[in-house]
């Protein structure tokens, strides 16, 4: 299981895609390697400020504003000071369990408890190459009733940080140019005409914030609710006017599709139901599909390269083997998947 998760993580990191496009798939791959309930990655600047983030669970903007005002700037829980200490340590990985004393603090009640955090492990991710400057902090979390992280967990994470350093070094603001076509996740909300959310699925706010595309950090949180309302008001107008009531948005975090449905009678006024879908890049979905098939680690490598359209000569170059050996591996994949051509390999990976 651990080796399989490591292969998936390495394949994702080798796709040469912008980091924000990869993060929604990288975090589940990391949690398969180091079992955890959820995870987050925080981009940090040279003085430790959190400048952007991707998290599987997020504090709402209002709660993030309170976190910034009460904890981020003033007390011992300040993120920047903690990050700089972690970055200066000899070991890039550390872990801890929330103490009984800490559970009596406002910080625990307003932040950690709200996110369901009882145990946390940190990994400082550094750019690969000269300088090896810290890019940011990976955090993985376990809740109450889950076992604490241990040295074995730390070693598993330590072993893959260099992959993450290569994949996440790309600027978090790089435009997405890779094709996106498959729905990876979606959520729904009912909005009033002025953009106020009247009802929302659990994942709605997180996806809407990612679709808006602005950096998510405590320092911007105070302005975010108003900006998000204005963004959603614009989305509603555009979706109403769009063909088939479908409006697509591209942000640094990928491509998002909004589907509009007019409602009436919810509160006596007109309302709008919006379904937001995050569309996954084709190569990411193929790598995730390869992980779900009954293939060896090497066969998964070959299957993904075949599905990506690589020739036998290109596969040989990637694997560092002869063309004849690469051809043999391709035939083995065909036999294992019971297919006869390369298009069928790609089809099976998509279906998986």
Q: What is the pLDDT of residue 295?
A: 83
Q: Which pair of structure tokens corresponds to residue 96?
A: 């801890």
Domains of the chain: 2-168 (3.30.450.40), 180-280 (3.30.450.20), 293-351 (1.10.10.10)
Phi, psi of 46 (to 5 degrees): -65, -25
Beta bridge partners of 248: 257
Q: What is the pLDDT of residue 140?
A: 97
For residue 83, the 8-state DSSP code is H
Question: pLDDT tens-digit profile of 28-87?
Answer: 999 999 999 999 999 998 888 899 999 999 998 888 888 888 887 766 557 888 899 999
Q: What is the pLDDT of residue 176?
A: 47
Element (H, E) at 285: helix 282-291
Residues 6+ apart with CB under 8 A from 251: 176, 210, 211, 212, 213
Q: What is the pLDDT of residue 17?
A: 82
Q: What is the pLDDT of residue 266?
A: 46
d(CA 291, CA 213): 29
**Nearest 5°: CA angle at 288, between 286 and 293?**
90
pTM of the model: 0.82
The whole-number mean pLDDT for each consecutive block of 10 residues of the chain, a chain of 352 residues, reads 80 84 90 96 91 92 87 72 92 96 92 95 87 90 96 95 85 49 84 80 92 90 91 89 86 89 63 87 84 83 86 86 87 87 85 78
Contacts 24+ apart (CB under 8 A), 300-305: 300/7, 300/8, 300/11, 301/7, 301/11, 302/326, 302/329, 302/330, 302/332, 302/333, 303/333, 303/337, 303/345, 303/349, 304/11, 304/349
Q: Computed over its alpha carbons, how large is the radius of gyration of the chain?
A: 22
Question: pLDDT tens-digit profile of 87-109?
Answer: 999 999 999 999 999 999 999 99
Residues 6+ apart with CB under 8 A from 329: 298, 299, 302, 315, 319, 321
d(CA 317, CA 321): 7
Q: What is the pLDDT of residue 161?
A: 93
Q: What is the pLDDT of residue 131?
A: 67
CB neighbourhood size of 313 (10 A): 12
Q: What is the pLDDT of residue 284?
A: 83
Q: Would strands 180-191 and 38-44 be described as parallel, antiparallel, or unpaired?
A: unpaired
Q: What is the pLDDT of residue 76?
A: 52
d(CA 202, CA 200): 6
Task: Label residue 350 exposed, middle or buried (CB < 10 Å: 0-12, 13-18, 19+).
Answer: middle
């Amino acid at each position: 299981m651990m080796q399989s998760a490591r292969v998936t993580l390495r394949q994702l990191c080798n796709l040469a895609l912008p980091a924000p496009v990869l993060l929604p798939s990288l975090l589940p791959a990391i949690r398969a390697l180091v079992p955890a309930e959820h995870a987050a990655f925080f981009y940090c600047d040279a003085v430790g400020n959190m400048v952007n983030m991707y998290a599987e669970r997020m504090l709402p903007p209002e709660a993030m504003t309170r976190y910034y005002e009460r904890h981020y700037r003033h007390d011992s829980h300040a993120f920047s000071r903690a990050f700089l200490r972690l970055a200066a340590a000899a070991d890039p990985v550390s872990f801890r369990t929330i103490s009984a004393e800490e559970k009596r603090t406002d910080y625990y009640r307003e932040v950690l408890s709200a996110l369901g955090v009882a145990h946390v492990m940190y990994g400082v991710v550094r750019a690969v190459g000269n300088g090896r400057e810290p890019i940011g902090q990976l955090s993985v979390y376990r809740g109450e009733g889950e076992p604490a992280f241990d040295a074995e967990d730390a070693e598993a994470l330590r072993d893959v940080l260099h992959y993450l350093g290569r994949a996440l070094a790309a600027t978090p603001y790089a435009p997405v140019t890779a094709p996106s076509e498959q729905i990876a996740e979606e959520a729904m909300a009912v909005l009033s005409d002025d953009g106020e959310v009247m009802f929302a699925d659990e994942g709605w706010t997180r996806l809407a914030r990612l679709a808006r595309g602005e950096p998510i950090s405590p320092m911007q949180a105070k302005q975010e609710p108003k900006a998000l309302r204005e963004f959603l008001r614009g989305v509603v107008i555009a979706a109403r006017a769009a063909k088939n009531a479908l409006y697509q948005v591209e942000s640094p975090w990928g491509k998002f599709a909004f589907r509009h449905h007019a409602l009436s009678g919810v509160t006596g006024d007109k309302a709008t139901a919006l379904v937001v879908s995050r569309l996954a890049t084709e190569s990411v979905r193929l790598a995730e599909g390869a992980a779900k098939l009954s293939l060896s680690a090497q066969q998964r490598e070959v299957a993904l390269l075949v599905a990506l359209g690589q020739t036998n000569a290109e596969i040989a170059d990637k694997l560092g083997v002869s063309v004849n050996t690469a051809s043999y591996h391709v035939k083995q994949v065909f036999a294992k998947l019971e297919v006869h051509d390369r298009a069928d390999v790609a089809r099976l990976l998509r279906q998986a």
